[in-house]
């Protein structure tokens, strides 16, 4: 097999292996070494400090629309920021061109963040 191919694939394979192995090991250790304290409160629904209603099966409760707006903005900005890491590696040798491309990418991102703050998208009154 080609040695440069192995040198390029081995770090990725190692990271993927560790990303799968570490949670599996921690879950196995938790189930083996963790305490077993069963009581009636463990089976009750609980969400973010808000006690669950006594009536079960009601899926028509209303959420504030700010919750959805914040979640969507988080997803958009989080996904866009993830693209910064490959660009930092890709444009490592071409620093000036990479800086121009990065400014072209971050411009709409910063404008969107500014617009969100100006419109009050992160205020929870």
Q: Where are the domains of the chain?
A: 1-34, 63-125
Digit-by-digit pLDDT tens for the chain (125 residues) are 677 777 888 888 999 999 999 999 999 999 999 888 888 777 776 666 666 565 555 666 666 677 777 788 888 888 877 878 787 777 777 778 878 888 888 888 888 888 888 887 777 76
Locate tokens 């061109």: which residue?
97
Give the C-alpha separation, 30 to 22, whole Å.
12
Q: Which two tokens stand for residue 75?
A: 């997803």
Distances from the Cα of 100 to the Cα of 44, 79, 84, 103, 115, angstroms: 54, 20, 13, 5, 23
Q: pTM for this structure?
A: 0.42
């Amino acid at each position: 097999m080609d040695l440069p191919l192995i040198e390029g694939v081995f770090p990725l394979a190692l990271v993927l292996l560790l990303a799968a192995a570490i949670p599996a090991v921690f879950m196995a250790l938790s189930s083996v070494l963790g305490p077993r304290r069963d009581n009636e409160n463990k089976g009750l629904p609980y969400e973010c400090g808000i006690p669950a209603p006594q009536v079960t099966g009601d899926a028509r409760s209303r959420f504030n629309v700010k919750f959805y707006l914040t979640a969507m903005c988080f997803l958009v900005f989080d996904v866009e920021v993830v693209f910064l890491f490959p660009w930092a590696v890709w444009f490592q040798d071409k620093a000036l061109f990479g800086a121009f491309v990065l400014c072209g990418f971050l411009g709409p991102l910063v404008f969107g963040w500014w617009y969100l703050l100006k419109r009050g998208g992160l205020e929870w009154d």
